[in-house]
Structure 1
Amino acid sequence: MKKYSIEKSDEEWKNQLSEEQYRVLRQKGTEAPHTGKYNLHFDDGAYRCAACDAKLFESEAKFKSNCGWPSFDQAIEGSIEYKKDATFGMIRTEILCANCGGHVGHVFDDGPTETGERFCVNSASIDFINEKE
């Protein structure tokens, strides 16, 4: 099993995170589409892991995908770990925070920008920081 910079027991994660954050980040859950607070959020700043505060995405990488979840066309280099996910009868690429191993979402190769990628992210797995203030 991979070692992460931040490792905590399940009990520690449960005490730190909300019930929904724990379900998504630690149990690989998915929030319902069009319900996350960052789905249609387009302020300038950065999106950080809600579990460990590691910076994952810059606001410039965010785009409106109409898929129901926050979408980005790239992650900050080295911030994301990629893992094959064969659950639910599909083959997908899971994205995890490279710092704590928290489940962030999945990445797909159907993005509309030059990167061709769509990082489909759960709002519960991220926090927004306005870095200009």
Structure 2
Amino acid sequence: RRRVQGAPPAPDPDLGRQRGIVEAFLAASRNGDFEGLLAVLAPDVVVRADQAAQRLGSLPVIRGAAAVAESFKGRAQAAKTALVDGEIGVAVILGGTLRVVLRVTIAGDRIAAIDATAEPTQIETFDVEVLDRN
């Protein structure tokens, strides 16, 4: 019903489980593990990027697990699991500076949506706490 009405999937309140899913996503991304990425992405996953993230090389919208997996494969070297405004997400830190924030929506045991923000004035409005020590 939510999908028909265009509402995003309801977020899952289990942060520990969500953190495990995001960490599996980042590990698969770093290692170029296409199958590992597919395992944690919902079939109809959508990635949306703001204009600043697009200038860094992201497409405005990427739809579907295979396309999203291909776009993240071999990347995420500077990405760390984080809390973004109290919800699980990803912080991309380059040269000691927070450059990109990924807000992640998880439905069930898979990532249903990723919203990439790289606009510095927007990033400043987020409360970001890095959880990942790698």
TM-score (norm 2): 0.29
Between Structure 1 and Structure 2, the one with more strand by share is: 2
